[in-house]
Amino acid sequence: MYKHIRFFKDITINDVPQVGGKNASLGEMYRLLTPKGVNLPNGFSTTADSYYYFLDSAGIRDEVTKALEGLDIQDIRNLQEHGKRVREIILNAELPKDMEDEIRAGYQALCDELGFPDLVVAVRSSATAEDLPNASFAGQQETYLNISGIENVLESARKCIASLFTDRAIVYREENGFSHMQVALAVGIQQMVAVRSEAAGIMFTLDTESGFRDAVVINSIYGLGENIVQGRVSPDEFTVFKPTGAILKKRLGAKRLKMIPIENSETANVDVPEEDQHRYSITDEQVKTLAGWGMIIEEHYGKPMDIEWALDEDFGTLYIVQARPETVQSQKNPNVIEEYRRTEDGEVILTGVSVGNKIGTGRAKVIEDLKDIDTFNQGDVLVTTMTDPDWVPIMKRAAAIVTNKGGRTCHAAIVSRELGIPCIVGTDCATERIANDTEVTVSCVEGDEGKVYRGILKYEVITTDVSGLTRPETKMMMNIGSPEHAFVYAQIPNDGVGLAREEFIIDAHIKIHPLALLHFDSLTDEDARHQIHELTFGYANKADYFVDKLAEGIAILGAAFYPKDVIVRFSDFKTNEYANLIGGKQFEPIENNPMIGWRGASRYYSEQYREAFKLECVAMKRVRDEMGLTNVKAMVPFCRDLNEADQVLAIMAEAGLKRGENGFEVYMMVEIPSNVVLARDFAERFDGFSIGSNDLTQLTLGVDRDSHIVASVYDENNEAVKELIRQTIAVGKEKGIKVGICGQGPSDSPEFAKFLVEAGIDSMSLAPDTIVKTTIATKEIEAARS
């Protein structure tokens, strides 16, 4: 029976006071989740009692206490001096012989069990006040990798104990109200997963930027996972949808370096071959395995988790090596929605990967070395190559953080979320492009891409409490296009998406005309050819790029609102807009009035465009049939007559999208007077109508909605427009199909909203920023009517 160590098989989550949060979690998972198929490497932990035993046996408890006298964490120099003094006291002390003997025995037992004479292990710090549900700064204490041989293990164990007094750990305890001498450190000694040429990474069981609970986000790099946390490498990123297990999104990281074990229990960073940089570091199957394990771990603990994993190079086996509660998004009040909005434009200095959904402004301080931290003031913007745990004290003063390196799970990203400040990572050149002492605005509200603007730009913060919001009978749906904001917008009370526009996905994420991909070899524009080559790198069939990116965008929209309806409108660019896509000019005619020209249904069945439209169908079929997002429905815009409807539906069926199969529904935009005149016939062909009040007003009144000269005539409240809407709603009720409206009319005009409710509209689809106020107004209208 051991006194100073405990093996993972004998540890439960209730043992945090004895083995710390990290080791308690490892023991809990090793005991209970290994039988469920989750792989965990074995190990053991020293105890909190043995930590105090060490302090007392070495006679240094009082010495440590005295060395902390006069500590002032607001004074960086003072903090550094006190921390260094305490660490030196511990490192100069000897471990008690009986404690040392038990560590030797535990290490030998692991060697014997796994059949290695000098087993390679990771030596991890595990404090009794870490990884708490509401407080967890990344990397407070040290971890030592690639340690083999008992003498190296013992030395690393003592270093771990000393790391209880790193500067960031001291600050953490001070700010969370923990007494320095009442927090103990246990040392975890765990079989090291061999990752010299394979992969490792981090996994969160929610979306780290929005708090969306139905996603697992996985980051992966080559070699040891430390490079992710340290921000040295931009990782691959995968987003998996929990309800169906589908991979919604994949993003290729640079992965230029990998950390590998070398001799003498050390590690080194080596270059990754270029061909490996351009492929994903793990397979789709491995992504799904990890996501499945993440969900098992989350279910076991009953809360979102932050998990580390590694891929053993020798056997190709995945392992979970650590798990802790996620402490940022899971702690937020879901009933309070906070939205930052820029109200002023400016010059963009550079872009990177956005972290959080906020805006920060201040004077930029370019700091490459901690020795220069005295120049950093409260409210400055920290600009650096990357951060590590020693930077936490200075990060806490920052209005925002911008780094050259790193991904969404690097140290800078993790800590900025904890601190609630905007952060942009992976810019490559922030320290070169941002001049020291210049004023900047750091904006993380523009999707996955964060932007640094020159100067202090104005912005506003809108806070909405939706805890008491009751639902009206009329369905309140959203108009949405950008997948980047879908997870955030889905948290606003809603009844689904009444209009998701493919144009946003094509313009922002695909950027290329589909015919330029299908007929790349005949493309004459050399500049367009070069751009397409760059964007589609790795695609043997360039049309697959269009399908992949479009499916990804639709899938994120469908997943965000699942299982509510998400009605996706096929592309409705006009010819001049299509021509502006890369390679588009060669395939688009010049029209004098594109608004009523070759758009919508007439484009889909035409000989010139039919094969491109089929790519859209293939993408939607993949989302529904392969990803399991059967809540996604299709909508056909600008369908002038019944012949067009029949031809488009036939082409969709040819591409595998047949109305009625696997619950597939097809809606039609009602935006042309002919749609209303023939509404009963159209209702035989479609499952629902969505009234496009903008085009319907334009075409009913004969007004160009883009012309300021006749703008005074353009009015959705015009009785002619309202009469067509009444007729459409009446036909819908007669035929038993849903009728909604997409447009800002109900939000901008209470009179128009009242008219729609009285006419019996089934749903209104609105911009996200107006849905709450319109929901309240609609509820009041319904109450007054009854």
Distance of CA 119 to the CA centre of its chain: 37
Distance CA 292, CA 486 (A): 23
160, 617, 639, 742: the catalytic one is 742
Q: Calculate Rg over the CA atoms of the chain.
A: 30
DSSP assignment, residue 522?
Answer: G
Give yes or no for a contact between 354 and 484, defined as CB atoms under 8 angstroms apart.
no
* Crossing angle for the helix pair 167-176 and 76-91, to the nearest 10 degrees: 110
Distance CA 109, CA 153 (A): 14
- Tokens at residue 353, please? 């990967």
Give yes or no for a contact between 567 and 498, defined as CB atoms under 8 angstroms apart.
yes
Distance CA 407, CA 235 (A): 6
Element spanning 732, H or E = helix 719-735
Helix (H/G/I), strand (E/B), else coil: 661: helix
Distance CA 359, CA 344 (A): 12
Distance CA 475, CA 454 (A): 43
Q: Report residue 98: phi and psi, to 5°.
A: -70, -35
Integer CA distances (angstroms), 464 to 42, 60, 297, 493, in order: 48, 53, 33, 11
How many C-alpha atoms does 593 have within 13 Å on its Cβ side? 8
DSSP assignment, residue 595?
Answer: G
Which alpha helices (DSSP H) does 496-608 contain, by range? Answer: 502-505, 514-518, 526-535, 542-561, 575-579, 601-604
Burial of 751 (0-12, 13-18, 19+ CB in 10 A): exposed
Residue 742 a catalytic site member = yes
Beta pairing, strands 305-311 & 318-325:
antiparallel
82, 411, 485, 513: the catalytic one is 411
Element spanning 784, H or E = helix 771-785
Distance CA 132, CA 326 (A): 9
- Tokens at residue 489, please? 């917008």
Distance CA 517, CA 514 (A): 5
Q: Report residue 650: phi and psi, to 5°.
A: -70, -40
Nearest to 52 by CA among 41, 44, 60, 40: 60
Beta strands in 608-713 (DSSP E): 632-636, 666-670, 688-692
Helix (H/G/I), strand (E/B), else coil: 556: helix
Distance CA 370, CA 168 (A): 13
DSSP 266-309: EEEEEEPPHHHHTS-SS-HHHHHHHHHHHHHHHHHHTS-EEEEE
> What is the residue type of 481?
G
Q: Report residue 638: phi and psi, to 5°.
A: 45, 60
Give yes or no for a contact between 699 and 750, defined as CB atoms under 8 angstroms apart.
no
Would you put residue 728 in left (φ > 0), alpha (ψ -120 to 50) or beta?
alpha
Distance CA 201, CA 245 (A): 19
DSSP assignment, residue 405?
Answer: S
Residue 411 a catalytic site member = yes
Nearest to 127 by CA among 203, 48, 65: 48
Give the catalytic positions in this structure.
411, 742
